[in-house]
Amino acid sequence: MAIELDHLIIPARDKVAAAQLLAELLDVRWSPTGIGPFAPVFVSDSLTIDFDTWPEPIPLTHYCFRVSQPEFDAILARIAAKGIPYRSSVFGPVDNAVGKWNDGSIVYWNEPDGHQWEILTVSYAR
């Protein structure tokens, strides 16, 4: 059997708000309740992101999604429509620009708890 990542637990101040925002940006299903205390986001048939409300301080983490160029364009349009600042480089200033990598597109943004999200069309890890 191939090894697949099944789920992640991401800490949040408000698990429902965090789950809803990510699901809306990615245009995927989510639920305010799930197994245990979680608010799940169903990223794909094989991956669920479970948001859980944690006390302060919330540890900050980084998550990246590889998507097709049409999916990238649609997600970026939803990010912009919500007025979420984004940037073209991981540690760069907010420039509301798309970065280029290996003939692909890349964008970073932070959600309200501070977690850094990334979408890209060409993986630099492979």
What residue ranges define each of the domains in the chain, with the CATH number in brackets? Answer: 1-56 (3.30.720.120), 60-126 (3.10.180.10)
Residue 4 pLDDT more than 90?
no
Of 21-25, 79-83, 110-114, where does mean pLDDT reach its minimum? 110-114
Residue 73's H or E segment, with its range, is helix 69-81
For the chain, give the percent of residues with pLDDT over 90: 89
Residue type present at position 19: A
Residue 34 pLDDT more than 80?
yes
Burial of 7 from C-beta contacts in 10 A (0-12 / 13-18 / 19+):
middle
Residue type present at position 116: Q
The mean predicted confidence, pLDDT, of the chain is 95
The pLDDT of residue 108: 97
SS3 15: helix
- Enter the pTM of the model: 0.91
